[in-house]
Structures are given as C-alpha cells and as structure tokens.
Chains A and B, each alone.
Chain A
Amino acid sequence: MNSMYVQGNSFLHQLDPRTKILFVFSIILFVFLFYDPMFQFLVTVSLLPIVFLSGLTTPYLKTVKFMFLLVFLIITVHGLYNPMGDVTKVTWQLTENLSFKHDALIYGAVMSFRILSIGTATLLFVMSTHPSDLANALVKWKVPHAVAFMILSTFQLIPIIGREAKVIMEAQQARCLDVKANMIQRVKHLIPLFAPLFITSFMRVHQMSQVLECRGFSSTGPKTSLREMTIGFRDYAFLTAIALFALAAITLRAVVGGTLLPITDFVLMSALIGIWIVCSIYFFDFLWKSVRKKVV
C-alpha cells in the first residue's frame, strides 16, 4: 500500500523529517494559541504557497476534499444551532427561527480553520516524506527500532493480506457465500471468511518472526540505515523561522490575548460563505465527473 507520499525534489521534500514534524507541531501550537478566526484563516492561507511550491497542488486538492465536508458541517451546524455565548447576537437571520449566531459562528469558524490548517500542515508533511524516512526519523528520536519496523512493514502487509482476503472470498463465494443473502446470513458467513484469513496471517507472523531472527533483528548493538539523514543548513534556517514565529505568537498572545482584532460580522460571513463556495465547487466538480462518467 502506498502512503500519500508524492515524489519530488522541492525545498520541503529535502527537509529532514524531524524538521517537518516540528513544523506540524508548531502549526498546532499556533492555532490553539488564539481564538480568532482571522488568525486561523491567515495560518491556513499562508500554508498554501508551500503547497504550491512543493508541487503538491493536485494531490493536495484531491485529499483536502473530505476535510471540506467536515468543515462545512461544523461551521453551518454550529452557526445555526450551537446555543453557546450570547444567543441574541445574530449575524444573519435566515427565517423567523433560523439564524446564524455571532458567538456560535466564531466557534465554528475557529474550529474550521483550525482543522484546515492542521490538516494542511499534516498533508504537507505526509506528502513530502517517504515512510522509510519517517521511520528513520523516529529511530533517531529514540523511538524503538521495532516500532519503526512495525509501521513500515504494515505498508507491505496490508496489500498482501488484502489479496489473501480476496482469494478466500472468491473461494467461499464459489461454495456457499451469497453476498446478497439476508443480513443474518451474511453475518454468519463472516466466520468462514475470517477463520482462514486469520490462520494464514498467523502463519505469516510466525515465519516473519523467524525471518527477523535470521536477519539479526534482535542483535544488540547500534543499528544503521541505508537512508542518509542529516540536519543541514536548510533545516536550521527553517527551524529558526518557525522559532521566530512561535516567539512572536507567544508574545502576542501574552500581550494582546486570545483575540487579536475585534471580530466583525463581515469576517464571520466571509468565512461562512467562503467555505460554502469551496464546498460547492467540490460538489459541482463531483457532479460533473459522475455525469461525465455516465455519459462516456
């Protein structure tokens, strides 16, 4: 199975995975320091040029889709129904008893942009980091070598066991299993499906544990790796920039507090409508593609 890694040679790709992990964590820190939709929005938007410069635009736009559904629900549902704060402060009266409330919209917008910025940072990390490099970085951070192995070998094992499952399903279908039978029947069929799958998996596990013994996995002493990883000038520059931002953000938080600028109805409406627009673009894109699929 593939991770979301996209091959490339950009600045981001060349950073050490450890630098990128720190980057993701600092984004999480930023968005939780403030309770201000403008700020969260700026963080999200400032990440987009990195997406573009890393050559990740297309895969990013594809995977960020499901986040927009989440964000759409959050801002809309919370804005309409969340009874938090001052319910009388209405931003947008839709019908007689349906309105977007000011305080609830702030919550919805902050949540939405938090999710979008953390999501974007995470995607940047995942898409620019080969899993083997991630594993290596973990080892450098004193995570047991065994844990790194578990993560990596899972990527190999999922397609193997998945294929076995398919073979077993086909064999059982040839015998008795009916995918269209009633629900109780299908539930009962789970056992003849899973039993052989579990048994072959356990056999595999036994063999793999023996293979690991033969490959010196339990050797004591230092481990080495084929993948070179050095924290270079780039990383230091990047980390310094992050540190400066963090410092500025923390000072700002201490001095000004959680909200930087007064939050106007205009800001909230823009957030709401903006998210709706992006969602409807995705929706129409989806519609267009399914129609085209049917026609062609």
Chain B
Amino acid sequence: MENKAIKVENLTFRYPDAESDTLKNISFELDYGEVLGIIGPNGAGKTTLAMALKGLIPHTVDGEIQGKIIVDGKDVLKHDISEQVLNSGLVFQDPEGQLSQMSVEEEVAFGLGNIGVPRAEMVKRIEKALQTVGLAGFEKRSPLALSGGQQQRLAIASVMAMEPSIMMMDEPTTMLDPVGKNEVFKVLKSLKEKGMTGVIIEHEIERLTMYCDKILVLHEGESILFGTPKEIFSDLMLLKKFKLRGPQVTEVAYEVFNDKEQIPVVLDEAVQSFSKELKA
C-alpha cells in the first residue's frame, strides 16, 4: 500500500448545539507532492475541514466527530496537536491575528523555539524562510509595520520554518488588497515548484488552477466533486448547479468547443487551444 499524505474517510462533524452536521461524510486522499485546492461557497465548511485536518477539531474545538483522518501517517484524532506540528502547519485567513512577536525574525523564531530547535539551526531556518517569502532584510521590523501581504507572507514563513510535511492555508489571500494577493500567490507558486505538499482554501479559482493538482468542491458540508482541475472545471454545468463558477477561460471555452477534452482551465492552455482551433 502506498503512503498517502492525507487520507480522510467518512469524516462527519457537528458543532455543539448545531442543528445539522457541518461536515458530511467526507472522504478523499492526497499524495505527497500534490496540492489540494478546496473551494465552495461561504459557510460550506471549508474552514471547518481545514481545522479538522490540522487537528484543531477536535482538540481545541468541541463537537461530535466521526470518521478517520490520517495526515502524514498520523491519526489526527488520536494524537494531541502538539505532537502534530511537524506533520502539518496551518496558515490562517487573518494575517495580523497570527502574529504575536515584536520583530519579524522573532516571529519566525517563535514556533521554532517552542519545539526546541537549537539556536544555530534556528538562524539558518529563519534566513531561508524569509528568503523564500521575499522578506529578507525585514528581520528587525515590527510585524505591525508590515503591509497585509507582507504579514501574510511572514505567517507563511513562520509555518514553513517549522518544516511541516504538509502546509495548509485557509484563504490566505482573502483579506488582502490586490497587491498583497499577488505577493502571496507568487510565494505559493514558488512553493509548489519546490514540491510542497499542501492544502489551500481559495476563492480565486483562476489562481487555484495554476498550482493545484486536485480540487475538492464543498457544498453545505458535502464533498460534491473531487478530482483534477480539468475534471472538475470541465463539468461547468454541475458547478453552476451549486452556484459556483469555473475559471473565466473555461467559461469562455465552454461556449466555443464541443470536445470536452479540449477545454482549458488555465490561461496558457487556453491560448494553445484557441490557436489550435483557429488554425483548424
């Protein structure tokens, strides 16, 4: 049996006093080196799912949970979160709310110090992480003096420096302005190129398709679609049924092409398809 990065089986979860389940019978798998994108309308349960994958549910949030979650070989429900810091890391939606230290370097060092990384190693990891997110040279600044995009990149660096096997991010760009969004997307793309295994919740479908290998569509707590971006977005009719849209290029191409195989989900592909079509 091959090793999976994430394996979720029949996951069901209900908040205390809630009338219905917030996550309903979710199952999926993710390989190492793959990035999973999770999409779905507001209130679909995306954040709840991310918290369950990270183990915040059930270890810090009450509720009834059923099913099985294995992340990086560890049974999330059985191990305390403090035993899972090396398996997965989570970046939250609100950039500022994740920061607590007085300078950029101390912010990155904070998590490392908590798990007892020796100082020499710490210094190396801080440098590398800040380099990766493009914040080299900001070491001594106060995190409060950074822009939203910079703060979110700092949060990413702080998680990354702990070197978890799997990076998870809950809408890391939603609260940012366009410039900040671009900055963070660049970082995400470069992480993908470096072979990161990750889970990313995102509203911007265009961007998501550029670095995701798999996509999971959540709707009212149910996993309604799971597959490669191509598989998912080719089925625009189904997406529409759930009030979601596909990438713009796909939507346009859908009107033009009959052959489903040909339908592009990212811009590069679209350019190719269209030029092929024009030549024909």
Contact = CB atoms under 8 A, between A and B. Distances in A.
Instruction: Indicate yes or no for A touching B, C-beta below 8 A.
Output: yes
A210 interface: yes
B56 A210 contact: yes
Interface stretch (B105-113, B210-218, B225-233, B261-269): B105-113
B143 A211 contact: no
A103 to B, nearest CB: 49
B170 to A, nearest CB: 11
13 contacts: A152-B101, A156-B100, A208-B97, A210-B92, A213-B82, A214-B81, A215-B114, A215-B159, A216-B111, A226-B119, A226-B122, A226-B126, A228-B119
Interface string B114-127: 11111100110010
B98 A220 contact: no
B48 interface: no
A226 B106 contact: yes
Given A208-B97, A213-B81, A218-B82, A156 B143 contact: yes
Question: Size class of A's contact patch?
Answer: 20 to 34
Given A219-B116, A220-B82, A226-B119, A213 B111 contact: no
A149 interface: yes
B46 interface: no
Interface of A: 130-132, 149, 152-153, 155-157, 159-160, 204, 207-211, 213-228
Interface residues of B, number: 42
B96 interface: yes
A228 B60 CA distance: 33
B226 to A, nearest CB: 25
A221 B158 contact: no
Contacts of A214: 54, 56, 81, 85, 89-90, 159
A226 B109 contact: yes
B147 to A, nearest CB: 15
Nearest to B88: A214
A111 B235 CA distance: 83
B32 to A, nearest CB: 21
A219 B85 contact: yes
Nearest to B117: A224
